Amino acid sequence: MQREVLDGAKEMMKEVIIEHLDIKNMLSSSNKFYIIDLGCSIGPNTFNSMQHVVQVVKDKYHDNILEFQVFFNDHVNNDFNTLFQSLPIDRSYYAFGVPGSFHDRLFPSRSIHFAHCSTSIHWLSKTPKELLDEKSPSWNKGLIHYIGASNIEVMNAYVAQFEKDMEMFFNARAEEIVPGGMMVLISPQFSERLLNFSGKLDESLVNSFNGPVYFPSIEDMTKVVEKNGCFSIEKIELTYPKSKLVDEADAKTLMINLRAVLEGLFINHFGSKIAKEAFTRTILKSDEISAWMKINYKKACQLFIALKRK
Amino acid sequence: MQREVLDGAKEMMKEVIIEHLDIKNMLSSSNKFYIIDLGCSIGPNTFNSMQHVVQVVKDKYHDNILEFQVFFNDHVNNDFNTLFQSLPIDRSYYAFGVPGSFHDRLFPSRSIHFAHCSTSIHWLSKTPKELLDEKSPSWNKGLIHYIGASNIEVMNAYVAQFEKDMEMFFNARAEEIVPGGMMVLISPQFSERLLNFSGKLDESLVNSFNGPVYFPSIEDMTKVVEKNGCFSIEKIELTYPKSKLVDEADAKTLMINLRAVLEGLFINHFGSKIAKEAFTRTILKSDEISAWMKINYKKACQLFIALKRK
């Protein structure tokens, strides 16, 4: 499923590059094309995506003069050693690491021609303060997650933090991306229903999700893009896995596949040890969830957004 | 002493930047200044040098519009995680990691305005094959070092490998550095005499130096630069520590200071475990060497070269 999700995103990226990217104007006399993967983690998905972008641009312009620079960004605590040691030998680009939060500036102004960010924008920069304040109407019983929260104030605090983060994110990218440059954002869509099955909340599962995350909707993303005002939306849509997996596979196979996706998110955020423990303790042992997820498989869709710097 | 060596190099870098660097022509309409530190290791010396270059260029042009990008390069097995986590918070440049051998291309053509390489070019890319071949006139008794070798063929094989490596190094930099861009190379000068004291060879010390290294002379460097033909030599000279350390300090202090320099080289090449062991076993326990080094302190000088891309 992870592979299929990636393949679907790759196909859509190809379409938007072919339809909307105009490098002739962007590069003028230069032959250097700068790509960044924001929140790249340690590979190999990032290598797959980056080589794809390079190849699609090359194919579109039948151009062997272009020189590609790919910048791999993630938090300063990301394992860049593993990332660098796994770089494909036969890559057709120059590779660089960029340590730092993508909510801040990472590059000089007008440096980037294509930005890519997959499965990362839902990680909030911090837990909204009011959720941890017992006296606040948004007090979340010590939980740092909105999933299953009965209080609308809790959800609002998460949305507000997401919007603040995205404001910083888009302000930074608006400076860094050249006019005409593009940005593709891909974000998973885990609704509350994913975790809130049978009307009951699985506490251990909710607790395993204890990092501050918010999974934005189409409406959320449209709002933050419009507020920033520097990007036009070329494409925005929800995509569903096309696989026959739901009909054919048993719940276990499905779990293993979905686990790979979720574990990637967790490793990225909490490190591999905690992630492994969380998944061993909770997800794989929950037969109820397994059965429920089989039915709700199609809800594990993702949001695809292609933007162009005005 | 390490600090003093660095300070001396910084002073000379400042001079060559003030006297020889002309950014107005180089940058034309852009405001982005690209710096690379080749063989940066894990810090903190590289941060010190890079901030210095940025500050000197800023001061020279009284310019707050310039945006600096610093690329930290070292082998793919360098500990970039430590490097990234040690990046100064208050740095006035955008920071990137560049994994790969500096004998190969690291950047697109005409990308770099200032290249810096300190205490790195003496590491050879490999041990010359013929030294390991018993039938060759350059057979080096299984040793992979020229220090103390009685056979002139052995030395020649090292010189030849150094020249091959530098040919690749200069070919790559000639492509990457913009016309008018500068490169500063700093290389320690450990002559055979450093290790060959009292007419006898300390076998354990020689064995601890078992990576392929060659410490080039002014003549060696002049030759490789001229062979490449793309750079003019703006400055080339041997520098000596000005410290009164030799007169005042006892041998032990001197050893500890020099050890820091040497250990840095070793850690860079062999990793910290091997380096620590080698130094604990050999250098610090050798009273003879200690006494000898006190006398020969001034021979621990370094070669400073400033080049400009034609």
Each residue's pLDDT tens digit, B140-187:
766 656 665 666 787 788 889 999 999 999 999 999 999 999 999 999
User: What's the Cα-to-Cα distance from B4 to each of A295, B9, B246, rounded to whole Å?
Assistant: 69, 9, 13
- Which tens digit of pLDDT belongs to each residue from A26-81? 887 789 999 999 999 999 999 999 999 999 999 998 877 899 999 999 999 999 99
How many angstroms separate the CA atoms of B110 and B173, rounded? 9
CB-based contacts of A211, cutoff 8 Å, min separation 6: A123, A144, A145, A269, A270
How many angstroms separate the CA atoms of A54 and A72, rounded? 14
H helices present in chain B, as ranges: 2-20, 23-27, 45-61, 80-85, 152-176, 192-195, 203-208, 218-228, 245-248, 251-270, 272-281, 287-295
**Chain B residues in contact with A175 (beta carbon < 8 A):** none
Report the predicted TM-score, pTM, of the whole model to 2 decimal places. 0.81
Q: What is the DSSP letter of A304?
A: E
Helix axes B218-228, B152-176, angle to 10 degrees: 50
**Chain A contact present for B44, CB below 8 A:** no
Chain A: residue whose CA lies nearest to B104: A94
Interface test with A, best of B31, B47, B81 (most A CBs within 10 A): B81
A67, A81, A106 ranked by CB distance to B79: nearest: A81
Task: For residue B187, report the phi and psi dihedrals to the nearest 5 degrees.
Answer: -135, 130
How many angstroms separate the CA atoms of A291 and A289, rounded? 5
**Chain A contact present for B27, CB below 8 A:** no
Query: Looking up tokens 């390991």, which residue turns up?
Result: B132
**Chain A residues in contact with B95 (beta carbon < 8 A):** 98-100
How many angstroms separate the CA atoms of A218 and A236, rounded? 7
How many angstroms separate the CA atoms of B310 and B308, rounded? 6
CA-based angle A90:A93:A95, to the nearest 5? 100
How many angstroms separate the CA atoms of B99 and B77, rounded? 8
Find residue B282's DSSP bridge partners: none
Interface test with A, best of B76, B84, B107, B175 (most A CBs within 10 A): B84
Task: For residue A258, report the phi and psi dihedrals to the nearest 5 degrees.
Answer: -70, -35
Per-residue pLDDT of chain B in tens (310 residues, 90 and over written 9): 556 667 788 999 999 999 999 988 888 778 999 999 999 999 899 999 999 999 999 999 887 789 999 999 999 999 999 999 999 999 999 999 999 999 999 999 999 999 999 988 988 898 888 777 778 777 776 665 666 566 678 778 888 999 999 999 999 999 999 999 999 999 987 644 344 444 444 455 455 555 777 888 899 999 999 999 999 999 999 877 655 444 444 545 555 665 566 666 666 656 666 666 666 655 555 555 555 555 555 455 789 999 999 9
How confident is the model at residue B261, as a pLDDT?
Answer: 61
**Chain B contact present for A271, CB below 8 A:** no
- The H or E element spanning position A294 is helix A287-295
CA A87 to chain centre: 21
CA-based angle B182:B187:B191, to the nearest 5? 150
